[in-house]
Structure 1
Amino acid sequence: MPSRDNTPLNSSLGSASSAALLQYCFAAEELGVDVKEILAKFGLAALLTKGDAGRLAGEVFQQVLIELVTQAKEPCFGLYAAQFVRPESYSILGYISMNSPSLKHALARTMPFEKLVGDMGQTQILEANSLVYIRWHCQYEAPSILGVMVENVIASWGKFARWLVANEDLAAKEIHFRHACAPGTLEKYQTFFKCPVLFGQQYDQLIIESSLLEQSIKMPDLRLLEIFAEQAQQQVSQLTDDDYCYKVKLAIRDGLGSNTSNKEEVAQRLFVSGRTLQRKLEQQATGFRQLYDQVRLAEARRLLAQPQMNLERLAVALDFSDTSSMQRWFRRVAGVSARNFANDVNS
């Protein structure tokens, strides 16, 4: 079923850990959505069984979530999905939190590594008059999922914090959301958060007494904490390297459909020479052709998921000189014909 959100793919959405999608997937599955079919459209069929499919382009994360929300038809989907939060939902940050001595310490140790979970948004922490304001600024703008994501992030924080300190009565002073409340649902939010929940506010945030952060985490292990923190630092460094490959992919995709996606033209967009581009990619054990095929394949899968797409238009969109060349390429890199792939995802 195609999404009803017409928000275009946005190359500024960065990337995200695929594990962050899982709680949305589990929630949608519980609500009767054919999650496997949706994931297959985006080449993520193994996510439910493996639990991780590496990092995703942010626009893919957004489009998958739009599909899940559209089909779930649950007005409180973000809140509902919070019940499926797990340590791995936060990547390695979940394990850093588990092994920290207190909630305050967990916040301090995980904030520098927030990017490992993804570029979906940024957390801001402010303190004033014995209160702590933990705000989340969502980077995504698709109308059908903006409120869902904000609600899920803040509700998941609360759910995970209760689990960390083994206290189901843990509650904020107030919860604020910028968006409007769906009619007839306010009681669900108040029951979940166990505090006043206000909509139409200036910020998406939870407001807590500063003393709440002093609560001890149930089973900290300082040795494991340092191990996970070191791993997180290494992953952040690697992610910085991966960001260059991601920038190259964005530059390739920007040129698709206009015959300006070859190596020299991509290098110009990145303000380097073709030789420098190739050298930087070789340093990361990859090459331009490999990234080019990845971008082309991702775009091909996205377009083939549209029932009105035909092979002639697809060949033009992917910068092939003719349809037969595109078909041979697709079969080689995807292991199936483009026509069969289109039939499968649209059946």
Structure 2
Amino acid sequence: MTAAPKRAPVRYFSLMLGFLAAQGVDTTRLLEMARIESSRFERSDGMLLPMEVESLIIAAYRLTGRTDLGFEVGRLIKLNSHDLLGYAMLSCEDLDRMLRLTSRYCHFITEMFTMRYRRWPERGEAVFAPVVAMPVQTMRFSLDVIALSVQNQLEMLFGPEMTPYDIRMGMPAPEHHARYAALGAARFHFDDRALPGITLSLDRALLDRPFPMASPQVVKQVEEHMQSLQRRPAPDAGWGDYVAMLLRESTGQVTLDGIAQRMNISARTIDRNLKKEHLNFRDLSQQVRFERARELLGERGATVARVAEQLGFSDAANFSRAFRRHAGVTPGEFQQQAGSGAGP
């Protein structure tokens, strides 16, 4: 049975269109470029498929030339931007309970990411991870949106005097990274070797601080309604594409257990779904690793030793042997062929 495609609510992209229109951007032209009917944005409960999200983001980047659109959209998102769930979040007793609630119903905010929350006596951690494969540009836009929306909503809840906390982003530092440094209590960390995602770390003082609009009855009513509509997210039918995307997006060593932990499912579940597509994690990992090797070897000034180090091989000789088994030529021969336009 094919899994239902994951979607994202149009309400967040309506914020982007409103922002761009205020900047003088022709949003009618933008939607034409993305091949999305403007009528899709007339209903607050409208949804976009991942391919439509991708088309919209690509069109926005092309039309504006800006790389910080995700940053700007995230700044516009407030708690009440999340429709009914947002009011339940505002009505929680404290941040700890709000994060627990959000982790249960994150798919009402977006089905393209999941959220896992863990609490220890002195701190808590929320992890946002993608559950669909997406291109690099779409991924980084989405991570920008999530990181800035989290920062914006926490500042609205606690004000500028809140204690410092950390947001770790599994992506390279963007061109606009200096803008992150000016965001008050939030300390942003970029890591291009980590799996794509966002990790929010907060101490006990923030987690247990009471909310002024606490109403357990409102939270209960909203939860009862959401439970009747609940559809838990999972990767689309293309598990191979999804796992390959995670591997490509991380320059560090990625394990099956690491991906399973990030998705909050078992490694056996991932392995079983890959087998349905006649795939296995080891082969996918090797395929992506040597795709990356070809890219690195093709860069100007690349050396075999340096590429071996970047890919985590113990030495250049081991890398050369593995590359030859995979590609049929040594890394040096590959570079010569690629340089002459005769690469394999």
TM > 0.5: yes
1:199 match: 190
Matched, 1:223 2:217: yes
2:51 match: 59
1:158 match: 151
Q: Is the 8 A contact 1:82 1:156 kept in 2?
A: yes
Cα distance in 2 between the residues matched to 1:182 and 1:109: 31
Q: Is the 8 A contact 2:31 2:38 kept in 1?
A: yes
Percentage of identical aligned residues = 12
Q: Is the 8 A contact 1:132 1:210 kept in 2?
A: yes
The Cα offsets for residues 161-205 of structure 1, whole Å up to 9 and x where unpaired, read as: 222x2423335422222222234x333101125343221252532
2:139 match: 146
Q: Is the 8 A contact 1:177 1:205 kept in 2?
A: yes
Q: Is the 8 A contact 2:99 2:126 kept in 1?
A: no
Matched, 1:232 2:222: no
Scaled by the length of structure 2, what TM-score is found?
A: 0.58
What is the RMSD of the two structures over their aligned residues, measured on CA atoms? 3.1
Cα distance in 2 between the residues matched to 1:232 and 1:75: 35
**Which residues of 2 match residues 297-336 of structure 1 at below 5 A?**
none
Q: How far is the alpha carbon of 1:33 from its aligned partner?
A: 2.6
1:87 match: 79
Over 3 Å counting, the alpha-carbon distance change for 1:68 and 1:51 in structure 2 is: farther
The alignment partner of 2:110 has SS state of coil
Matched, 1:73 2:84: no
**Which residues of 2 match residues 160-309 of structure 1 at below 5 A?**
160-163=153-156, 165-170=157-162, 172-183=164-175, 185-200=176-191, 202=194, 204-236=198-230
Counterpart amino acid of residue 202 in structure 2? I
Q: Is the 8 A contact 1:103 1:161 kept in 2?
A: no
The Cα offsets for residues 75-100 of structure 1, whole Å up to 9 and x where unpaired, read as: 32222212211335323221210111
Q: Is the 8 A contact 2:36 2:52 kept in 1?
A: no
Number of aligned pairs?
A: 229
Matched, 1:118 2:110: yes
The alignment partner of 1:196 has SS state of strand
Over 3 Å counting, the alpha-carbon distance change for 1:102 and 1:111 in structure 2 is: same
**After TM superposition, where is structure 1 displaced by more than 6 Å over at least 4 residues in a row?**
none
1:323 match: none
2:13 match: 21
The Cα offsets for residues 289-313 of structure 1, whole Å up to 9 and x where unpaired, read as: xxxxxxxxxxxxxxxxxxxxxxxxx
Counterpart amino acid of residue 235 in structure 1? L
Where do 5+ consecutive residues of structure 2 fail to align? Answer: 238-344
Q: How far is the alpha carbon of 1:230 from its aligned partner?
A: 1.9
Over 3 Å counting, the alpha-carbon distance change for 1:195 and 1:109 in structure 2 is: closer
Q: Is the 8 A contact 1:47 1:53 kept in 2?
A: no
The alignment partner of 1:191 has SS state of coil
Over 3 Å counting, the alpha-carbon distance change for 1:25 and 1:186 in structure 2 is: same
Counterpart amino acid of residue 146 in structure 2? V
The alignment partner of 2:213 has SS state of coil
Cα distance in 1 between the residues matched to 2:111 and 2:10: 12
The alignment partner of 1:14 has SS state of coil
The alignment partner of 2:117 has SS state of strand
Q: How far is the alpha carbon of 1:232 from its aligned partner?
A: 1.6
Q: Is the 8 A contact 2:77 2:152 kept in 1?
A: yes
Cα distance in 1 between the residues matched to 2:90 and 2:190: 31
Counterpart amino acid of residue 121 in structure 1? F
Counterpart amino acid of residue 99 in structure 1? S
Counterpart amino acid of residue 160 in structure 1? Q
